[in-house]
């Protein structure tokens, strides 16, 4: 086994758990947030700085690295860890989501996807076997099965077909996968249809994979639907395997994901938001680019202990951002990653102390809101499930 997952604490009020993921490139405390290093770099940060802000594991994108600089080049460099000088664990996605969302003119058939590069329009084809081949060249610790990604909203029939394909492709990924030092995770699809989610999970569980991801959420659906499907889908995944929610990176969604038993998350949001001049602060967000902060000589977040908040003012950071100075992008990114990792640490602590309910209550109270009521939110979906069953 390439990875080992163990649970050290279990919340008595929720499905949340605190654990540890061992990989060939070191251990990770879960629940973990993975910053995204799309092109083999978490934008603006060095690996040493990632460590400083608390990053333990990163995600990198198969689609992007395949196009540039090419998976064979990364392999020739000794693999992605060495190429980018990140010695910690890496997860690569399968390319399925990017082929669907970024490439021009993608055409899906039962065997794979033909697409044109978003960079130069050149034609390429990904199949499950090709995705695994690339991911083996990149050499991440955790790799993802190639899935059929559908938009939101999508008709039931198309979603059902995507589930079928995703299952068949997962089998093909398993057969193609050779490297013993990489763990292959499956991705549960099914859009917003509970019976499809159940079918997808059941079929993939038969493969007895070392971990499972929830895909196809946080793709534009209403918040309540996100919460309901998160709740229903997470319960379908095996208790003893890491559960990974793809593409979620705001504190509210992270908290609820963890509450529902998610162990791993990734998202470009904290870093992308930072480059757009918005930072996380206790209780919300702050757009430091705004004119209101031109003469604000206080730190981004007065309660924050990060390097940026110790040494720089809102006025200075705003000045840098307004003048397109790279240091501005570095400082907001640094702060946001520190913030999100601190948030994860607080969640892990709350689970270990079995006080996640209290933590969650206060979190929502600070925002003048109440936590999602899963019984209510899932009622409609459950009855839909019952009808089809």
Q: Which helix (H) or strand (E) holds 174?
A: helix 156-176
The residue (of 70 and 238) whose beta carbon lies closer to a second copy is: 70
| 45 makes contact with a second copy (CB under 8 A) | yes
| From candidates 193, 312, 339, 343, binder to a second copy by CB under 8 A | 312
| 316 makes contact with a second copy (CB under 8 A) | yes
User: How many Å from the N-terminal Cα to the C-terminal Cα in the chain?
Assistant: 36
- Other Cβ atoms less than 10 A from the Cβ of 297: the count is 10
The residue (of 46 and 106) whose beta carbon lies closer to a second copy is: 46
R_g of the chain computed on alpha carbons: 21
| 25 makes contact with a second copy (CB under 8 A) | no
The residue (of 83 and 100) whose beta carbon lies closer to a second copy is: 83
Q: How many CA atoms lie within 13 A of 219 on its CB side?
A: 22
- Pick from 250, 249, 215: nearest CA to 233: 215
Return the structure tokens found at 348: 């892990």
Q: Residue 354 contacts by C-beta under 8 Å, 6 or more apart in sequence?
A: 9, 11, 12, 13
Stretch that binds a second copy, among 40-48, 92-100, 102-110, 374-382 (CB under 8 A): 40-48
| 343 makes contact with a second copy (CB under 8 A) | no
The residue (of 77 and 346) whose beta carbon lies closer to a second copy is: 77
| From candidates 11, 23, 30, 44, binder to a second copy by CB under 8 A | 44
- Pick from 31, 35, 10: nearest CA to 20: 31
- What is the distance between the alpha carbons of residues 266 and 61, in angstroms, rounded to a whole number? 12
- Residues numbered 58-77 forming contacts with a second copy, rule: CB under 8 A: 68-69, 73, 76-77
- Pick from 85, 76, 87, 187: nearest CA to 138: 76
Among the listed residues 141, 147, 263, 266, the single catalytic one is: 266
Residues that contact a second copy, how many (by CB under 8 A): 33
Examine the residue annotation and report whether 93 is marked as an active-site residue of this protein: yes
Stretch that binds a second copy, among 97-105, 252-260, 279-287, 311-319 (CB under 8 A): 311-319
| 117 makes contact with a second copy (CB under 8 A) | no
Examine the residue annotation and report whether 296 is marked as an active-site residue of this protein: no
- What is the distance between the alpha carbons of residues 12 and 355, in angstroms, rounded to a whole number? 9
**Residue 65 C-beta: closest distance to a second copy, Å:** 9
- What is the distance between the alpha carbons of residues 253 and 244, in angstroms, rounded to a whole number? 13
Q: SS3 of 173, please? A: helix
**Are the CB atoms for 153 and 219 separated by under 8 Å?**
no
Stretch that binds a second copy, among 104-112, 138-146, 313-321, 376-384 (CB under 8 A): 313-321
Return the structure tokens found at 223: 């918040």
- Residues numbered 238-267 forming contacts with a second copy, rule: CB under 8 A: none
Interacting residues with a second copy (CB under 8 A): 39-41, 43-46, 68-69, 73, 76-78, 83-85, 294-295, 297, 311-313, 315-316, 319-320, 322-323, 325-327, 329-330
Active site residues: 93, 266
């Amino acid at each position: 086994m390439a990875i080992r997952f163990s649970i050290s604490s279990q919340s008595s009020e929720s499905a949340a758990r605190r654990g540890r993921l061992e990989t060939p490139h070191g251990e990770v405390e879960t629940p973990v947030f993975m910053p995204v290093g799309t092109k083999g770099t978490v934008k603006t940060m060095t690996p040493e700085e990632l460590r400083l802000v608390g990053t333990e594991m990163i995600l990198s994108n198969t689609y992007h690295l395949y196009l540039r600089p090419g998976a064979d080049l990364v392999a020739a460099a000794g693999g992605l860890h060495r190429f980018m000088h990140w010695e910690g664990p890496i997860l690569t996605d399968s390319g399925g989501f990017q082929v669907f969302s970024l490439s021009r003119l993608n055409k899906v058939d039962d065997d794979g996807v033909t697409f044109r590069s978003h960079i130069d329009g050149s034609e390429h084809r990904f199949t499950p076997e090709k995705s695994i081949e690339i991911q083996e060249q990149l050499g991440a610790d955790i790799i993802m099965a190639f899935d059929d990604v559908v938009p939101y909203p999508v008709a039931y029939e198309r979603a059902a077909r995507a589930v079928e394909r995703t299952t068949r492709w997962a089998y093909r990924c398993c057969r193609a996968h050779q490297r013993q030092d990489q763990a292959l995770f499956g991705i549960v699809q099914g859009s917003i249809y509970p019976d499809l989610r159940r079918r997808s999970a059941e079929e993939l569980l038969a493969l007895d994979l070392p971990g499972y991801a929830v895909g196809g959420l946080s793709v534009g659906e209403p918040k309540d639907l996100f919460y309901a499907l998160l709740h229903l889908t997470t319960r379908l995944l095996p208790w003893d395997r890491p559960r990974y929610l793809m593409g979620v990176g705001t504190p509210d969604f992270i908290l609820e994901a963890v509450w529902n038993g998610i162990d791993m998350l990734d998202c470009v949001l904290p870093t992308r938001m930072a480059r757009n001049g918005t930072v996380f602060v206790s209780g919300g967000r702050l757009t430091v680019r705004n004119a209101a902060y031109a003469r604000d000589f206080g730190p981004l977040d007065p309660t924050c202990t990060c390097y940026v908040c110790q040494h720089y003012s809102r006025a200075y950071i705003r000045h840098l951002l307004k003048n397109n100075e790279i240091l501005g992008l570095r400082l907001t990114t640094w702060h946001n990653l520190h913030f999100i990792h601190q948030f994860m640490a607080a969640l892990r602590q709350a689970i270990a102390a079995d006080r996640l309910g209290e933590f969650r209550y206060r979190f929502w109270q600070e925002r003048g809101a109440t936590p999602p009521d899963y019984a209510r939110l899932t009622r409609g979906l459950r009855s839909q499930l019952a009808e089809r069953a």
